[in-house]
Amino acid sequence: MAIRQIITAPDPFLKRVSKPVAEVTDDLRVLMDDLLETMYDAPGIGLAAIQVGEPVEAIVLDIARDEDDPYPRYFVNPEITWASEELATYEEGCLSVPEFTADVDRPAEIKLNFLDYDGNKQEIHADGLLATCIQHEIDHLRGILFIDHLSAVKRNIIVRKLVKASKQAAE
Ligand code: NI
């Protein structure tokens, strides 16, 4: 396993649309292992392959609390098949948008089809933080960041600060 560099906004690479994978290969499992290690190191609770420069439909998540055992989850080719009309609001952050958080409304419950780490088809019904995290990560596969759900004014303020911070870091 290896820790990979996380791409941060406003890098245009993050706007790319990820491609579904034909099958879960050993190479993809190596990528997912790297994603998980990179996510734990950051630390974060979710990471999509596009965030480390691989535009394929693969996501890792672990929303276990600090006092609980790690519970890594892997989602390949995730597809939301149903979403509740009821919305839930969470304060979201993103490893590609460091230092910023904002409230985002999303469907409170979803049903999801995906392939697991072993390439088996799975279907789950998710709610709570899990539903929000899965939707946040699936957005990454479509080139969407959580700040894209905010008003243009709020988004521009955050993007300007990110650009300024990255210029200062480069100096
Ligand atoms: Ni994110």
7 within some domain: no
101 within some domain: yes
**pLDDT of 48 above 90:** yes
Q: By percentage, how much of the chain surpasses pLDDT 70?
A: 100
Tens digits of per-residue pLDDT, 110-142?
A: 999 999 999 999 999 999 999 999 999 999 999
Q: What spacing in Å lies between the alpha carbon of 134 and ligand 1's midpoint?
A: 10
Q: How many domains does the chain have?
A: 1
Domain membership of residue 151 as a residue range: 12-170
Q: How confident is the model at residue 170 (pLDDT cuts 50, 70, 90)?
A: confident
3-state class (DSSP) for residue 96: coil
Q: Phi first, then psi: what are they for 153, rounded to 5°?
A: -65, -50
1 within some domain: no
Reported in sequence order, the residue ranges of 4-127 that DSSP labels E, i.e. its strands, are: 46-48, 58-61, 73-83, 87-92, 102-107, 109-115, 121-127
AA letter at 107 = P
End-to-end CA distance of the chain: 31
Q: What spacing in Å lies between the alpha carbon of 127 and ligand 1's midpoint?
A: 18
pLDDT value of residue 65: 86
127 within some domain: yes
Q: How confident is the model at residue 32 (pLDDT cuts 50, 70, 90)?
A: very high
17 within some domain: yes
Q: What spacing in Å lies between the alpha carbon of 111 and ligand 1's midpoint?
A: 20
Q: What spacing in Å lies between the alpha carbon of 9 and ligand 1's midpoint?
A: 10
* Number of CB atoms found within 10 A of residue 71's CB: 10
65 within some domain: yes
52 within some domain: yes
pLDDT value of residue 78: 98
Give the mean model confidence (pLDDT) for residues 19-30: 98
The H or E element containing residue 37 is helix 26-41
Q: What spacing in Å lies between the alpha carbon of 64 and ligand 1's midpoint?
A: 17
Instruction: Assess whether 137 carries a catalytic annotation.
Output: yes
pLDDT value of residue 145: 98
134 within some domain: yes
Q: Which residue has the tokens 């998980």?
A: 36
CATH code, 30: 3.90.45.10
Active-site residue, selected from the candidate residues 57, 92, 99, 137: 137
**pLDDT of 92 above 90:** yes
